Amino acid sequence: MQHITDRFIKYITIDTQSDPENPDFPSTEKQWDLAKVLVDDLKAIGMKNITLDDNCYIMATLPSNIDFKVPTIGFIAHIDTSPDYTGTNVKPQIHKNYDGKDIVLNKAENIVLSPDYFDDLLLYKGQTLITTDGTTLLGADDKAGITEIITAMEYLIQHPEIKHGEIKVAFTPDEEVGKGAHLFDVEKFGAEWAYTMDGSQIGELEYENFNAAGAKVTINGKIVHPGYAKGKMINSMLIASEFMAALPKDEIPQETEGYEGFYHLHTLKGEVEKTELHYIIRDHDMQLFEQRKVDFQKVADTINKKLGNDLIEVEIKDQYYNMREKVEPVMHIVDIAEEAMKELGITPLIKAIRGGTDGSQLSYKGLPCPNIFAGGHNFHGRYEYVPVESMQKAVEVIVKIAEITALKYS
């Protein structure tokens, strides 16, 4: 556990926040800082064929230690952390033998992680939790996944009695801004299937995710002196508020769960003359997803018609699709992961992801890629935490998947 903790802290204290406004790969130069460290760590544990390409994708190979052919499998995690909350100057705190009570993250600023609000904390009484000091995110999404993959490969190298086929690992940039798989070279990677280590609660196993689109709404107004504005001023912010109010009030993230889709306003920037709204549109069902995009555009069209002018412009771009369509024909890859968890005494929590992973895009690029828990909770904010025991179990799951795959094809 100490080894996992030390490795994880080493990674989370390197700032790798990505930038949704920058089209470059990677979108931030600081992602290279962690990438170079990971290359060194992969070399140190004895991985082979380690590459870091011009776009900050890392790939490496653990050679087979058996004399018969089995499918080559892969494990993938992402380097970047979310732009939703700062990842600069992360100050980790370790809470051993968690007692189930409030955790004071920052006494000076009265920042408290409480099971009264985050009841999942009670699942981990008696365990070791890692948090921040409440002023940054932690970065378990997805540096927990990176830690687990490297630790599992190290364990397999140190324990050659565990038989396995060839294993590929990859670490991608810019997953948090939806580009993590855009330039991923599936052919170079060379795996028949893979698993992203990018889930949350221990036991999560997912092969369904949202269909996703991003929408930019631009409202154009007209500024004149407010004292002489009668019949002349057009306040784009007021039109924006009308647009927001016209969308279904209960179809937002905090009012939905399970397979329910939503519209999520995540950025608003406005002044009288121009206002921009940035939404994400999500639904697991493709037909409902397509209808959501139509309905979103209709809101703009209706308001434009009422105003007698096309003041609202809408741009919608698809981001990724539900991987279920690509994974269901090869469900044995989910079955192997489920079997691995059960053998380790972990109850599999098979459910749809209310989000997306690199695996959703990779599945459509020909690399079926379900998602496995990495252990963290409350991603993308100051209340993020990860139990060390969950990371340890994730390492064991990776090792067991490798072992089961070799046995099934022996």
Domain CATH for 331: 3.40.630.10
Average pLDDT over all residues of the chain: 96
If pLDDT is split at 50, 70 and 90, which confidence band does 377 have? very high
Point out the domain boundary residue: 319, 336, 354: 319
What domain range is 222 assigned to?
211-319
Do 110 and 30 share a structural domain? yes
Neighbour count for residue 242 (Cβ, 10 Å): 16
What average pLDDT does the segment 280-306 reach?
A: 97
pLDDT for position 409: 86
Q: Are residues 153 and 70 in the same domain?
A: yes
Say if residue 82 is in the same domain as residue 171.
Answer: yes
132-179 pLDDT, tens per residue?
A: 999 999 999 999 999 999 999 999 999 999 999 999 999 999 999 989
Is residue 180 domain-shared with residue 272, that is, in the same domain?
no
Total count of domains within the chain: 2
Same domain, 107 and 199: yes
Q: What pLDDT score was predicted for residue 357?
A: 83
59 and 203 in a single domain? The answer is yes
pLDDT digits 0-9 by tens, 135-146: 999 999 999 999
- The whole-number average pLDDT for the span 283-290 is 97
Task: Pick 379 or 410 by higher pLDDT.
Answer: 379
Average pLDDT over residues 4-14: 98
Q: What is the mean pLDDT of residues 196-225?
A: 95
- The pLDDT of 282-307, averaged and rounded, is 97
Question: One of 15, 175, 198, 206 is an active-site residue; which one?
Answer: 175
What is the pLDDT, as a whole number, of residue 153? 98
Residue tagged active-site, from 80, 141, 208, 396:
80
pTM of the prediction?
0.90
Q: In the predicted model, is pLDDT for residue 229 greater than 90?
A: yes
Residues 78 and 193 in one domain: yes
pLDDT tens digits for range 94-110: 999 999 999 999 999 99
Q: Is the pLDDT at 15 greater than 90, yes or no?
A: yes
- Whether 180 and 43 map to the same domain: the answer is yes
Residue 88 has what pLDDT? 96
Residue 1 has pLDDT above 90, yes or no: no
Which of 319, 341, 372 is at the close of a domain? 319
pLDDT at position 355 is 84
Whether 80 is a known active-site residue: answer yes
**CA angle, 180 then 375 then 196, to 5°:** 30
Q: Which of 319, 345, 361 is the last residue of a domain?
A: 319
> Model confidence at 31, in pLDDT bands (50, 70, 90)?
very high
Instruction: Respond yes or no: is residue 175 known to be catalytic.
Output: yes
Question: Which CATH number belongs to the domain containing residue 253 in this structure?
Answer: 3.30.70.360
Residue 4 has pLDDT above 90, yes or no: yes
pLDDT at 176: 93
The pLDDT of residue 178? 85
- Say if residue 140 is in the same domain as residue 6: yes
Q: Are residues 42 and 167 in the same domain?
A: yes
Does 75 share its domain with 205?
Answer: yes
Do residues 261 and 289 make contact, with C-beta atoms less than 8 angstroms apart? yes
pLDDT digits (tens, 9 = 90+) for 381-406: 999 999 999 999 999 999 999 999 99
Claim to verify: residue 99 and residue 120 sit in the same structural domain: yes
Quick check: 275 pLDDT over 90?
A: yes
HEC string for the chain: CHHHHHHHHHHHCCCCECCCCCCCCCCCCCHHHHHHHHHHHHHHHCCEEEEECCCCCEEEEECCCCCCCCCCEEEEEECCECCCCCCCCCCCEEECCCCCCCEEEECCCCEEECCCCCHHHHHHCCCCEEECCCCCCCCHHHHHHHHHHHHHHHHHHHCCCCCCCCEEEEEECCHHHCCCCCCCCHHHHCCCEEEEEEECCCCEEECCCCEEEEEEEEEECECCCHHHCCCCCECHHHHHHHHHHHCCCCCCHHHCCCCCCEEEEEEEEECCCEEEEEEEEEECCHHHHHHHHHHHHHHHHHHHHHHCCCCEEEEEEEEECCCHHHHHHHCHHHHHHHHHHHHCCCCCEECCCCCCCHHHHHHHCCCCCCEEECCCECCCCCCCEEEHHHHHHHHHHHHHHHHHHHHHCC
pLDDT tens, position by position, 319-335: 899 999 999 999 999 99
